[in-house]
Chain A
Amino acid sequence: MTGDLLSLDGVSVVFKIGGGLGLIGAKHVVALNDVSFTLPDKSEIVALVGESGSGKSTIARLALGLLRPTVGKIMYKGREISDWLKVDKERFRREVQSVFQDPYGIYNPYYKVDRFLYIALRKLLHINDAEHARSLIVEAMRSLGMRPEELLGRYPHQLSGGERQRLMLVLALLIKPRLLIADEPVSMIDASLRAIFLENLLELKNKLGLSCLYITHDLITANYVADRALVLCHGRLVEAGKSEEVIRDPLHPYTKLLVDSMLLPDPRSVNVSSVASLDVRRLSELKPERGCVFRYRCPYAMKICEDKEPVLNDVGRDRRVACFLYSDQTISTQLG
């Protein structure tokens, strides 16, 4: 346990919405429900996949210490993250860095883009000499195939989304974090820059030996960069395994749906058929109160799925699935 880089142990996060001061009238939203997984202390890119509302970004916020779990523990290098923030915040901030989805939102439009690099170097690495800082920045940019003379000294609006995202990777290369939390880093940038960003991410992994939580709803890029994939559905971890295997041979019906929805970049294998109209779904929340979180949409839903919630089961070859289709309990309960 203590040897792990990051570990989540039975983590749940409950948000209270509405209801003002009292508890009366307050609604609770369970963003994460009893999630456990670990990133071992080796260099690894782990993809977190799932739809909006599945809890992916909640895990990112937990891992950055921006949010505390309602129940359960989240540990970085064997120590709870809330402890890190109290005891050695600077080291934690240096070792755990982030890249977020929106390349527009993270920069202050009034300042030149390189400013945050200087600030990070000063605060986290105590490099106060501007000349020295500049030479480090230039070197880091060059090694990621960027042209510093074209980018430094510019304002955020003068750069493309992809360039702004790659500057975050320059920061990572400068600060040399142990863990990078990348929340949908490529969903808003176009194909040619997306490829360069992903290449840079793999380079960082190889150069610095960093680990990365790569949060995405895009299975194709997850397959491309990640070693392992964790699939989240309505706050539950429903499947985990090697990313290639999870995508090639999905076991959980939810993962099957995600894989089946993947748009293939190939006009010769079209898997989108035209429809005259879409099925009308109820407006009410699609998540069941009890039982398996996916059962309303699951084509294989059985009686047991209404009554009980499946737990993650080891099905061999580093694969875990939370579904009664793959558990011994199904057979015994169905028979008994």
Chain B
Amino acid sequence: MNSLNPVLTIEEQATDALIEHSNISKNEAKAIIEEKLNVVGLPKEVLRTYPHELSGGMKQRVIIAIAIALNPSLVVADEPITALDVVVQKSLLRLLKGLRDNYGVTLIFVSHDMSAHAQLVDRLSIMYAGKIVEVGSTEDIFYDPQHPYTKLLISSIPRLEKKEIRGIPGIAPSPLNWPKGCRFHTRCPLAMEICGVKEPEMLQMDGNRLVACHLYGNGGERH
């Protein structure tokens, strides 16, 4: 939400990337941006405003409009809906989904909001302390998590029908001093001796599932 330049109008900064990356005039760039603003549900008057005149949701939509102006095939969205209102969150997710369905855009959606993941993404990579620990389809991750960290993460999500949630005790390790072996072993309820010694390799499981944990494969006690 703070990635817009506060001293430039939306028009100046939105057309900038377009002009820089393609051989078009200012007016052509403006026409493209107007069209993209229309996609994100903003009137063209927005072009004359400065970022502080817009709400958080509007700023996010301006940024999405800039991101799709050059018809990208990949968009990386880092916490794009965090700290926005529920109503705005939902409309932004519908829009991001529309980018995939209507424009064939691939999206890397970075978020700690598991609800947003459940609603939007096809595939989910679970990260802990700088490592990917599990990859799978969204449904597999939510309904059949394999890695102990994923299991705990899924059980910590508050749900409407479930009045019991559990957090993960302990604190995330410091990047200056990662634990030896598996980085989760200091908080893992199933940690074995090997976990503090050897880092688990990423294993291919059934289907499209990848898991990095000594509980699976033959990295465990048989070694």
Listed in ascending order, the chain A residues whose CB lies under 8 Å from chain B are 51-52, 145, 147, 150, 158-160, 163, 187-188, 190-199, 217-221, 223-224, 247, 257-258, 260-268, 270-283
Is A217 a contact partner of B166 (Cβ separation < 8 A)? no
Please name 16 pairs of A and B residues whose Cβ atoms are closer than 8 Å in the assembled complex, sorted by A.
A51-B87, A52-B55, A147-B171, A188-B82, A195-B166, A219-B86, A258-B87, A261-B86, A264-B118, A266-B118, A270-B118, A272-B94, A278-B40, A280-B42, A281-B43, A283-B43
Is B101 a contact partner of A274 (Cβ separation < 8 A)? yes
Q: How far is the CA of A49 from the CA of B156 in the complex (A)?
A: 22
Residue B198, interface by CB 8 Å: no
Given A198, A263, A271, A278, which contacts B41 in the complex, CB threshold below 8 Å?
Answer: A278
Q: How far is the CA of A167 from the CA of B171 in the complex (A)?
A: 13
Is B87 a contact partner of A163 (Cβ separation < 8 A)? no
Contacts of B120 in A (CB 8 A): 272
Closest residue of B by beta carbon distance from A273: B94
Contacts of A280 in B (CB 8 A): 38, 41-43
Listed in ascending order, the chain B residues whose CB lies under 8 Å from chain A are 38-43, 45-46, 49, 55-56, 61, 82-83, 85-91, 93-95, 97-98, 100-102, 112-116, 118-120, 138-139, 142-143, 152-153, 156-160, 163, 165-172, 174
> A195-B165, A263-B115 are known contacts. Are A218 and B86 too (CB-CB below 8 A)?
yes
Given A159, A195, A263, A267, which contacts B138 in the complex, CB threshold below 8 Å?
Answer: A267
Q: How far is the CA of A218 from the CA of B87 in the complex (A)?
A: 11
Closest residue of A by beta carbon distance from B45: A283
Given A51, A145, A267, which contacts B118 in the complex, CB threshold below 8 Å?
Answer: A267
Q: How far is the CA of A261 from the CA of B116 in the complex (A)?
A: 11
Closest residue of B by beta carbon distance from A225: B158
Is B167 a contact partner of A265 (Cβ separation < 8 A)? no
Interface centre among A52, A159, A257, A282 (most CB of B within 10 A): A52
Is B159 a contact partner of A220 (Cβ separation < 8 A)? yes
> A52-B56, A277-B38 are known contacts. Are A263 and B93 too (CB-CB below 8 A)?
yes
Contacts of B87 in A (CB 8 A): 51, 257-258, 261
Q: How far is the CA of A259 from the CA of B94 in the complex (A)?
A: 16
Q: A263-B115, A274-B97 are in contact. List 9 more A-B contacts (CB 8 A).
A: A51-B85, A51-B86, A150-B171, A198-B165, A247-B160, A263-B113, A267-B118, A267-B142, A272-B90
> A195-B167, A196-B167, A224-B163 are known contacts. Are A263 and B86 too (CB-CB below 8 A)?
yes
Tell me how far the C-beta of A126 lies from the nearest C-beta in chain B, rounded to whole angstroms.
32
Q: How far is the CA of A191 from the CA of B128 in the complex (A)?
A: 13
> A160-B171, A191-B153, A267-B142 are known contacts. Are A278 and B163 too (CB-CB below 8 A)?
no
> A52-B55, A261-B89, A272-B120 are known contacts. Are A199 and B165 too (CB-CB below 8 A)?
yes
Contacts of A279 in B (CB 8 A): 41
Contacts of A217 in B (CB 8 A): 85-86
Q: How far is the CA of A84 from the CA of B98 in the complex (A)?
A: 54
Contacts of B98 in A (CB 8 A): 274-277
> A199-B165, A272-B119, A278-B91 are known contacts. Are A264 and B160 too (CB-CB below 8 A)?
yes
Contacts of B158 in A (CB 8 A): 194-195, 198, 220-221, 223-224, 265
Q: How far is the CA of A275 from the CA of B170 in the complex (A)?
A: 41
Contacts of B90 in A (CB 8 A): 260-261, 263, 272
Is B139 a contact partner of A194 (Cβ separation < 8 A)? no
Is A192 a contact partner of B168 (Cβ separation < 8 A)? yes
Tell me how far the C-beta of B85 lies from the nearest C-beta in chain A, rounded to whole angstroms.
4
Given A187, A221, A265, which contacts B83 in the complex, CB threshold below 8 Å?
Answer: A187
Is A194 a contact partner of B119 (Cβ separation < 8 A)? no
Contacts of B41 in A (CB 8 A): 277-281
Closest residue of B by beta carbon distance from A53: B55
Closest residue of B by beta carbon distance from A49: B86
> A52-B85, A274-B100 are known contacts. Are A282 and B43 too (CB-CB below 8 A)?
yes
Closest residue of A by beta carbon distance from B88: A51
Contacts of A221 in B (CB 8 A): 158
Tell me how far the C-beta of A219 lies from the nearest C-beta in chain B, rounded to whole angstroms.
7
Given A188, A191, A260, which contacts B114 in the complex, CB threshold below 8 Å?
Answer: A191
Q: How far is the CA of A268 from the CA of B118 in the complex (A)?
A: 8
Tell me how far the C-beta of B185 lies from the nearest C-beta in chain A, rounded to whole angstroms.
16
Q: How far is the CA of A258 from the CA of B156 in the complex (A)?
A: 23
